[in-house]
């Protein structure tokens, strides 16, 4: 299975959201990846990073601190966080971007890795991951 390039990843996000603005897509992708990373254990976050193209790996790891604990976030807090980091107008936009990034990420990760990520999410975020 061909892993995606960073460009293909962003294209997928743009295609899924129908938002043509590449800069917005990049910012939103970073915000969703950061929120997801912080929701995972550092070990799991490292395993995801290992399967990302180099440029996205850098985005994923930005702001990662040593000895971090997983941040308990449910779906609404997750959307709130993405909204705040990107400066989106609504939680609805947050949701679109979250689903879009999850879709692209699931295509990028091995099935086993995608399963591991899913296992660490709370029930309401599991549903978003499954829907993506």
Check residue 1 and give its pLDDT. 44
What is the predicted pLDDT for the residue at 67?
Answer: 85
Percent of the chain residues past pLDDT 70, beyond the cut: 98
User: Tell me: the pLDDT tens digits for 60-108?
Assistant: 999 988 888 999 999 999 999 999 999 999 999 999 999 999 999 999 9
**Mean pLDDT, residues 35-39 taken together:** 97
- What is the Cα 9 distance to its own chain's centre? 11
Query: Residue 4 has what pLDDT?
Result: 72
- Cβ neighbour number for residue 36 with a 10 Å cutoff: 24
Q: What's the pLDDT tens digit per position in 102-113? A: 999 999 999 999
pLDDT of residue 21: 87
- 57: which residues sit within 8 A by CB, 6+ positions away? 49, 50
Q: How large is the average pLDDT for residues 49-58?
A: 96
Assign 3 a pLDDT band (cuts: 50, 70, 90).
Answer: low
Whole-angstrom distance, CA of residue 127 vs CA of residue 60: 22
**88: nearest Cα among 35, 31, 34, 37:** 31
Helix (H, G, I), strand (E, B) or coil at 71: coil
């Amino acid at each position: 299975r061909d892993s995606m390039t960073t460009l293909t990843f962003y294209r997928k996000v743009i295609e899924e959201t129908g938002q043509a603005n590449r800069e917005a897509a990049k910012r939103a992708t970073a915000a969703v990846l950061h929120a997801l990373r912080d929701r995972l254990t550092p070990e799991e976050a490292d395993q995801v990073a290992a399967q990302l193209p180099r440029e996205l790996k850098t985005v994923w790891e930005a702001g990662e601190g040593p000895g971090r604990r997983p941040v308990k976030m449910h779906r609404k807090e997750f959307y709130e966080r993405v909204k705040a980091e990107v400066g989106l107008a609504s939680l609805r936009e947050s949701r679109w971007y979250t689903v879009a990034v999850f879709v692209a990420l699931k295509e990028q990760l091995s099935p086993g890795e995608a399963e591991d990520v899913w296992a660490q999410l709370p029930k309401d975020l599991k549903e978003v991951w499954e829907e993506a």
